[in-house]
Copies of this chain bind each other. A is one copy, B any other.
């Protein structure tokens, strides 16, 4: 079974979904840390069904094309549950921006500062979005967030990972931009 398979099972364990629905969930990101395109999802669903981890039923719709709604089976649920507590294989981290930083000594300081400042901004923006969702969760799901057995708790946990990730990344970008470039100029540069 592939990791993508477990990602799909993780979504189906919460609710029945079509391939299209799954694709939408995977765009945003499953719990913010996995993604896949429809071209990968449809064949994987077929394999999961072949293995008995999911089943599907065709749902007819008036206003839209019919769809196949997939549901997780007991076998699938069991496999997913077992996978959760297996230690993950350690895969090497690959981060292109950090790799760029490794050769930043060759670049013009101002130019490099612009790049890292811009990347830092992106991560700050993502952080802000995540924090907004977190506030919403804390309001809406208050009780669930102290029950590790609830799916809402699990969603909150992955979001929490996203927040920590973005915060750290933004911090590093700001630090590096400052170190290589120095002054932060507002576009237009008001100096007379």
Cα distance A46–B98 in the bound complex, in angstroms: 25
On whether the beta carbons of A101 and B180 are closer than 8 Å, the reply is: no
A interface, over-half SS: helix
On whether the beta carbons of B148 and A98 are closer than 8 Å, the reply is: no
Cα distance A161–B161 in the bound complex, in angstroms: 17
On whether the beta carbons of B77 and A106 are closer than 8 Å, the reply is: yes
Query: In the assembled complex, how far is the CB of residue A185 from the closest CB belonging to chain B, in whole angstroms?
Result: 16
Query: In the assembled complex, how far is the CB of residue A137 from the closest CB belonging to chain B, in whole angstroms?
Result: 14
Q: Which of B9, B96, B171 contacts A3 (CB 8 A)?
A: B96
On whether the beta carbons of A95 and B148 are closer than 8 Å, the reply is: no
With A105-B153, A106-B80, A107-B85 known as contacts, the answer to whether A99 contacts B160 (CB < 8 A) is no
On whether the beta carbons of B101 and A85 are closer than 8 Å, the reply is: no
- Interface flag for A64 (CB, 8 Å): no
- Interface flag for A115 (CB, 8 Å): yes
- Interface flag for A188 (CB, 8 Å): no
Q: Which of B30, B92, B164, B180 contacts A102 (CB 8 A)?
A: B30
Cα distance A96–B154 in the bound complex, in angstroms: 14
Query: In the assembled complex, how far is the CB of residue A30 from the closest CB belonging to chain B, in whole angstroms?
Result: 6
On whether the beta carbons of A148 and B88 are closer than 8 Å, the reply is: no
Residues of chain B within 8 A (CB-CB) of A13 are 103, 106
On whether the beta carbons of A98 and B31 are closer than 8 Å, the reply is: yes
On whether the beta carbons of B92 and A112 are closer than 8 Å, the reply is: no
6 residue pairs of the A-B complex, CB under 8 angstroms, read A29-B92, A29-B93, A31-B101, A33-B99, A104-B153, A160-B176
Chain A interface (Cβ within 8 Å of chain B)?
3, 6-7, 9-10, 13, 29-35, 77, 80-81, 83-109, 111-112, 114-115, 118-119, 122, 148-151, 153-155, 157-158, 160-161, 164-165, 167-169, 171-172, 175-176, 179-180
